[in-house]
Amino acid sequence: MGTPAHLPSIIAIDGPASSGKSTLGKGMADRLGYLFFDTGVMYRAITWLALSQGVPVQDGAALTELARRSDIDIRPPSVADRRNCDILVDGTDVTWSIREQQVDSQVSAVSAVPGVRQALTLQQQRIGQRGQVVMVGRDIGTVVMPQAELKIFLVASAEERARRRYEELHQRGEEADYSQILAGLRRRDEIDSSRQVAPLRPADDAKLIDSDGLDAAQVLEYAMRLVYQAAEQDP
């Protein structure tokens, strides 16, 4: 019997909003028996907390303070309502509330605050360094886990992403307007890519996947080939 191939232990997936990162990351983590860690939920949790406490999203110092002292916990799902995990902020279950449109529209501004990024990046590194993890975000390959053995940058056109997001909201029975979603995605792309700290961009050694015209299963198969290729290069 040959030696088992050395599978990448830390896998980073970055890309713009609604490009399918979470679906891909969850699929890869399930196949590999790894932890799936969607780092965007942390920025969403702080945004939800700021909105619920009336902290203005322009107040960088107050947001930094919130990020430093809040306890964000990600646990196995306790409710069978199609959630991947429970997301708790200071003990409150915010799994679905962090997906509401009010959070969607403010989260890019909150995640552009350097102090918020610093606090959350440290927490993410602590979890990621344990290995056997698929981490999803905007700056995983460039800043949070530059040592990841496999880095994927997943893209899709804004129209395709807006269509997917529309379907997702529609299926959940929420009101959705395609042109508003498209405009919102473009605005978030602009903020995420142009912020000063850790802007959205592919790492130099990232593998680019364009998911336009591919379904989730095809993207997963392609990404799993990259996993095995990475293992062959590092036996």
Burial class (CB in 10 A: 0-12, 13-18, 19+), 126: exposed
Residues 188-207 that bind ligand DC (CB under 6 A): 188, 192
160 binds ligand DC (CB under 6 A): no
Q: Nearest approach, Cβ of 6 to ligand DC (angstroms)?
A: 26
67 binds ligand DC (CB under 6 A): no
Q: Do 230 and 35 form a contact (C-beta atoms < 8 A)?
A: no
Residue nearer to ligand DC on the CB measure, 216 or 231: 216
Burial class (CB in 10 A: 0-12, 13-18, 19+), 124: buried
Residue nearer to ligand DC on the CB measure, 111 or 211: 111
Question: Which one of 27-35, 57-65, 79-87, 137-145 is the stretch in contact with ligand DC (CB under 6 A)?
Answer: 137-145
Residues 88-107 that bind ligand DC (CB under 6 A): 107
The three-state secondary structure class of 184 is: helix
Q: Nearest approach, Cβ of 224 to ligand DC (angstroms)?
A: 22
165 binds ligand DC (CB under 6 A): no
Selected from 108, 113, 145, 220, the binder of ligand DC by CB under 6 A is 108
Residue (of 226, 230, 218, 231) closest to 153 by Cα position: 226
HSE-CB at 163 with a 13 A cutoff on CA atoms is: 7
Residue nearer to ligand DC on the CB measure, 114 or 131: 114
What share of residues in the chain are helix, strand, coil (percent, to 5)?
50, 15, 35
39 binds ligand DC (CB under 6 A): yes
DSSP state of 81: S
64 binds ligand DC (CB under 6 A): no
Residue listed under structure tokens 């440290």 = 122
Q: How many whole angstroms separate alpha carbon 69 and alpha carbon 108?
A: 20
149 binds ligand DC (CB under 6 A): no
Residue nearer to ligand DC on the CB measure, 43 or 166: 43
Binding region for ligand DC (CB under 6 A): 17, 39-40, 43-44, 107-108, 111, 137-140, 188, 192
